[in-house]
Structure formats: structure tokens, C-alpha cells
Structure 1
Amino acid sequence: MGYAKVLLGVVLVTALAATSTAQTKLNKGATCPALIDYVSLNNTNITAIQSLFQVKKFRNLLGANNLPTSTPSDKNVNATEKIRIPFTCMCTNGTGVSNRKPVYKVQKDDFMYHIAKEVFSGLLTFQQIADVNGVPDPNQINPGQELWIPLPCSCDIVNGIKVVHNGILVDKGSTVEGIAKQYGTNLTTLLTLNNMTDPSKLQAGQVLDIPLPVIGIKLMLKCLFVPCSSNVNSSSLDYPFLLANGTYVYTAYNCVKLQCEPSGLKSTNSDWTTCPAMQCQGADSLFIGNKTSSGCNQTSCVYSGFTSKSILTSLVTESICPAPSAAWKIGFQGLGWNFFLFISIQLILFLSLHLS
């Protein structure tokens, strides 16, 4: 009888827990990498965009857009073309804005609405610019005056998982459902992140917060375009490491390109005449980004961080053979938790009748 009661409790708690929805939590007082889409009203080039948003390194802009490292600095950008801007987000008191950059110098005949709506393509309002800069009258700005442009962003943890937040400009005719499908998320998550209750209220030109999956953060996740993994540990100088899938960055003094290979660039560390070896110990032929297979096991040499003296690597082995019951698992998952809950209730009724 005692055993039956314990079993009933375990089954009931498990069933109820399975139906709960994970909540979005705010990481307050933090900074994090963020992205935002920009669409210039006029034809321009990628260097002009880098200058406007004060992206420190040209290759950071290339990486955010997954453009080849050979991309010329005068590459044309059409007026309708979206360029993803990488920047640092500062989150305090439940809101996030870009961390004191970019700064815009007012030009002759500029006015605040023009700066917000046309120069920065409606990514924020003129009143937001006025508020953070302490400008009492948005109509009273002077040539040469410097204005901090507070790009909207977030450092929220979404459903218990760290993400890179990407602000997008909503196109005419878009729907929340369609955007969720495009970016691999769901309707509920997008509505929660953007404080929306009615998806039909979505408007063209609105900035929508999109959570992008990341690699790194001590998680074993596959890079999207290159067959490798990242397992950055807490001793690394680039920890914590957040990188959105579909982008790349240079790290380890420019010696490593993630995703996920030696960069081929000259090291920026004056103590390194050449980049250190990126070979995994215990695997003579494996370097960062390499893998080997034996039967059902695949072993990869992965980037694990760097110190002032060396680049850290580790070996990761995973099974590449399908699980014996994969088809059954897929079928079960397709039934969803409602089926699980139904079975659990039936089991509870059975135990109550036969074990009491």
C-alpha cells in the first residue's frame, strides 16, 4: 500500500510537470552580444554601414552576416538589402539598449525624426534618442552635437537557454507565425519576448525581437556550416562565449575562426610570432575542425578556449548511428504530452483500484 502511494505521487508529479511551459527570465545588470537588422534607405556600401554603427572591426560585420572574409570593404549594399549589425547590449531594470554606441554627430539641417526614421531606418524613435541624451526639445539640436543612438536589444534567457537576440524590421505582409517558422522558434515565445498579446497587431516596420540559437557556453552543439563543435570552458579568455548559428567570429587573438577552423590570419598577440598549434592531445592527426569516424563513433577535435600562452582543444566523441528505437521515439513525440498525460491518469486509476 505504501509503495503504491509513492508510485502514484511520482507518476502524477511527472505528468503535471510535463505539461508546464518554461518561462522567459531576464538576466538583469548584464551585457551580452546582440544583433539588429539594418536597411538603408539609399544605396551604400558595407564600410559606410560599419562607420555609421561604429562596428569596431570590419571582419565582425562580415561574420555577423556570414559574408566571405575576402569581401571587399567597398562592397555595394542596395537600399532594400538587410545587413545584420553586431553590437554589445546593456541590460538594466528590465530593458536593454546598445552599450553607449553608436554615437551620431548631428549634420547641418538634421532633425531628430530624420535621424531616427531615415538615417537609422526606424530601428528606434526620435523620442527614445531624446530621452537617453537628455534633450528636452527634440526640435532643438545643433550641428556637431553628438547623440547616443540606443538600439533596442535584450539579454533575456529564453525558456532556460541563453540565446543571441536579433532585432528584425518586420516586412509588409509578414505574420508572427511566419516569422516564428522562418527563425525556428514558436508563436508563444515571440509574443512573450515582444510583450504582444495579439499576433494580428503586428505592423510593418516594427522591430521584433528574435531569439537565435547559439554555439558554445559549455554546450556540445554542432556548428551550422562547419562540422565541428565548441566547448568553451570557464578558464578561457573569451568565456562566456555566445555566437549565433549562421554567423562567425575570430577569437584567440585572431587565430581561430568560429565557426570553426583555424583563421589563417596573423596573431594580434605580440608574444605569438605564429599562432600556436591547434592539435588535440591523444589524436596525432586531428586539429581544430577535423574529425574521424570508427564504426558508430565520430571523434572531433573542438575549440575549448584560449589563454595568453596557448589555444585549448578537446576531443569529443559522439554516436552517429541511429538509435534502435528512433522510429518509435519519433512517433511517441509526435503524439505530444497530452497522450502522456492520458496514459498517466489511466495508470493512476488502475493502481488506485488494484493496489488499495
Structure 2
Amino acid sequence: MATPCPLPALLLLTLAALSLSLSPTPAAAARFACNATAPRASTCQALVSYSPPNATTLAAVRALFQLRSHRALLASNNLPPSTPTTAPAPSPVRVRLPCLCSGGAGATFQRPTYKVRAGDTLDAVARGAFAGLVTYRDIAAANNVSDPNRVAVGQELWVPLPCSCDPVGGEPVVHLTYVAPAGSSVAGIAEEYGTTEETILALNRMPDAKSLLAGQVLDVPLRACSSAISSSAIDRNLRVPNASYILTANNCIMCGCSSTTWQLDCQPTQGLTPSCPAAKCGDLFLGNTSTSATSTCESTTCSYAGYTNSSSFTILANLTTSSVCNAAGISPAAQPSHSLASRLGSPARWSELIVGLHVALLCLGFLRRD
């Protein structure tokens, strides 16, 4: 006859199993598919979503990831250019890093690196310093370390964070390396970052949404704004997602992404660089817009087209024409601001309408009975 398991022992076993199921460490290293092989397409700028284990500053984040510019960190997080280095870092904080495709997978190129301190193990570096963005196996393989528990103090380690440069659905995107927090869902992540559940499952080769683990490193594609940048420009591969901006053309131009038009909105910077060449389209300066003389539905904008440095530093600009009317040919100014469609556009409004109809029908029923 089997001896019954004492209650305390059973409780301990249950807690142990529960802790394993909630472990923030993914079962395997993340490998993001990155199949681009053309010289221009095999490298890109990717984003990493980093959640610092403790409160920290922007300067500390910049030092950890060896970012060359404080302004680049501000731009990735949509912070004002005047934000000081001592300001607290948001959590999570977005870090822009170069990504390289090789052998069907992508990894951040040469950065970040980490200098081993006394008492460090590769697991502590992976899960502590870099908050689970990478596994100790990845670091060991990248640095030819045979014993992950034995690393020399002062040893310089390359930390290869997973990334990608591939288009998604035929469209260019900015890939975000994201660690799924406990309690999150694929649907919630997709909604937060403006993509679909199916896209996240396909990119991360997940059988279904239920297979998501706490601490799993995900490839989340961020839609990038369309632009008029010339294919011959130095910054021809410029990709800007929503809720961020980029400084380009030697910090002379600031480009943001509008989630309304999904067009790149570029303006000359003010006071960052003293010697910037003028960017004009005839009589229009960069960013200026004029309406058509023949149609109130058309507007012409002096749009940023990149910069060159072949003979001299030059900022390119082209005139682009876009429609500002809806499908019915009504311009935004002529559309009623409090139409029924606008008041009932959200699911909450529709719910209010349905509840109101139910109440009205119930009242009618009582009236008929009386």
C-alpha cells in the first residue's frame, strides 16, 4: 500500500511545479528569421524593448548598450531632445541597434558588449543585466565559452540580441525584440503594438496563442511610415515606426511617423546643428504644405527625400501630392465633427446604444401589458 503524501510535502511539490510553470526564462534561445541577403537589405536598424531590473537613468542604459548618441535614445522613446542624460529611463525603454542577417537568422551587430565582473556567470549576465533578452547559451556560443559558469573577470563578451530585417507581408517594418511579461497574451501584445495575433504567431513559429511563455522573447513587427526618400540617398533605408522619431542628415532633419496618414513627417531641427544646408522645393521649405488652386481635396508638400555627401553635403526634397478628402470627396474641414458615425465609432458607444435599445424595448413591453 502506498504511503499517503503528507500535506506539507504535497504543498511544497505543488508550489515547486507552479514556480516552474511561471518561470520567466524561455525554454530555448530565440532565433528571429532574417533571410535578407542583398547588401542593402541584410542590415538594418532594429529596436529592443528593455525592461531594467531596477530603476535606472538614460545614461546607464546608453552605457549598457554602447549607444553612440544620447539623442538617438531619446528619439527611439519619443522623448524631447532637451531631456538630460540623468533623467530616469522609462520601463520598458526602446533601444535602437544595428541588426545583421546571417545564416537565416538575425543578431545585433557587434553591440552590445559586456565586461565580466567578479561573481558574474553568463546566466546572470543574460537574465540580470540584459533582462532575459538573450540566453546564456547564446552568449556562450557567440564567445566560444565552453563552461558558462566560468568566465574571467574583465573578459569582454559580445551579447548577440535576436533581431530581424525582413519585410512582413511584403511591407518594410521595424522589428521589436520584446520579452513577454507574466500574464500577457498574444492578442494583447498584438493590440498594443498595432499588429495581428496571426502575424506574431507566424513570425515566432508558435503553434497557437496558448503556447506563449512568461519571459519568452518575441519578434514583434512595428509598421513603418512610407516616405519619399530617394533610393540614391545615404539614409534610403530609413524606417520610422509610430511613437518615435529619428534624427538624420547629420542631425539637421527630424523625422517622425504619423499614425493618421502613415507618411513620414520630416522637419528641419532647431538649434541642434549650426550649419545645415537649406532644404527647399522651389518657394516651399521642407515640411511646408500648400493646397491646390484647382482642387480643395489636394495638397502639395515639400517632403524630405534623403541626403547625399558625394560632392557636398546636400539635403534632398521633392514635392509630393496627397488627397486630404475622404471617399465621399469631403474635406476634413467640411465634415461634421459630431456626426452619429463619430459618436458611435467605438465599441463602448455601440454597447451603450444596444443597452439603451434593450431598456426601451423592456419599457414598451411593460406599457403594452398595462
Q: If the TM-score is normalised by the length of the shorter chain, which range does it land in?
A: 0.7 to 0.9
Match of 1:127 among 118, 121, 137: 137
Q: What corresponds to 1:93 in structure 2?
A: 103
Q: Is the 8 A contact 1:34 1:87 kept in 2?
A: yes
Matched, 1:26 2:42: no
Query: How do 1:106-185 and structure 2 match up within 5 A?
Result: 106-185=116-195
Q: Distance in 1 between matches of 2:34 and 2:214?
A: 28
Q: Percent identity?
A: 43
Aligned length: 280
Q: Is the 8 A contact 1:266 1:275 kept in 2?
A: no
Q: Distance in 1 between matches of 2:116 and 2:329?
A: 64
Q: Distance in 1 between matches of 2:198 and 2:115?
A: 40
The letter of the residue matching 1:290 is N
Q: Distance in 2 between matches of 1:76 and 1:178?
A: 27
Match of 2:50 among 25, 35, 38: 38
Deviation of 1:266 after TM superposition, in Å, equals 4.7
SS at match of 2:247: strand
Q: Distance in 1 between matches of 2:194 and 2:272?
A: 36
User: Which TM-score applies when normalising by structure 2?
Assistant: 0.72
The letter of the residue matching 1:46 is L
The letter of the residue matching 2:285 is F
Q: 1:184 to 1:315 in 2, by over 3 A?
A: same
Higher relative contact order, structure no. (Cα contacts within 8 Å, ≥ 6 residues apart): 1
Q: Distance in 1 between matches of 2:197 and 2:191?
A: 8
Q: Is the 8 A contact 1:90 1:98 kept in 2?
A: yes
Query: How do 1:162-311 and structure 2 match up within 5 A?
Result: 162-215=172-225, 221=226, 230-259=227-256, 260-267=266-273, 274-281=275-282, 284=283, 286-294=284-292, 295-308=296-309, 309=312, 310-311=314-315
Q: Distance in 2 between matches of 1:99 and 1:296?
A: 46
Greater C-alpha Rg: 2
The letter of the residue matching 2:57 is N
Q: What corresponds to 1:343 in structure 2?
A: none
Q: Is the 8 A contact 1:25 1:160 kept in 2?
A: no
1:314-347 CA distance string (max 9 Å, x none): 1111121222389xxxxxxxxxxxxxxxxxxxxx
The letter of the residue matching 2:275 is T
SS at match of 1:114: helix
Q: Is the 8 A contact 1:164 1:244 kept in 2?
A: yes
Q: What corresponds to 2:68 in structure 1?
A: 56
Q: 1:159 to 1:75 in 2, by over 3 A?
A: same
Q: What corresponds to 1:69 in structure 2?
A: 81
User: Which TM-score applies when normalising by structure 1?
Assistant: 0.75
Deviation of 1:291 after TM superposition, in Å, equals 1.3
SS at match of 1:61: helix
SS at match of 2:281: coil
User: What residue ranges of structure 1 are gaps of 5+ in the alignment?
Assistant: 1-23, 216-220, 222-229, 268-272, 327-356
Structural RMSD (CA): 1.8
Q: Distance in 1 between matches of 2:155 and 2:144?
A: 12
SS at match of 2:162: coil
1:281-325 CA distance string (max 9 Å, x none): 2xx2x2212212241111111100112232111111112122238
Q: Is the 8 A contact 1:255 1:265 kept in 2?
A: no
Q: Distance in 1 between matches of 2:130 and 2:34?
A: 29
Deviation of 1:235 after TM superposition, in Å, equals 1.9
Q: Distance in 2 between matches of 1:71 and 1:325?
A: 43
Q: What corresponds to 1:320 in structure 2?
A: 324
1:113-150 CA distance string (max 9 Å, x none): 11010110010111110011000111110110000000
Deviation of 1:25 after TM superposition, in Å, equals 8.1
Q: Which 4+ residue blocks in structure 1 deviate beyond 3 angstroms?
A: none
Q: Distance in 1 between matches of 2:200 and 2:272?
A: 41
Q: Is the 8 A contact 1:25 1:158 kept in 2?
A: no
Q: Which stretch of structure 1 is more off in the superposition, 302-311 or 42-51? A: 302-311
User: What residue ranges of structure 2 are gaps of 5+ in the alignment?
Assistant: 1-32, 257-265, 331-370
Q: Which stretch of structure 1 is more off in the superposition, 243-252 or 137-146? A: 243-252
Q: Distance in 2 between matches of 1:77 and 1:324?
A: 46
SS at match of 1:243: coil
Q: Distance in 1 between matches of 2:216 and 2:113?
A: 22
Q: Distance in 2 between matches of 1:60 and 1:25?
A: 24
Q: Distance in 2 between matches of 1:170 and 1:162?
A: 23
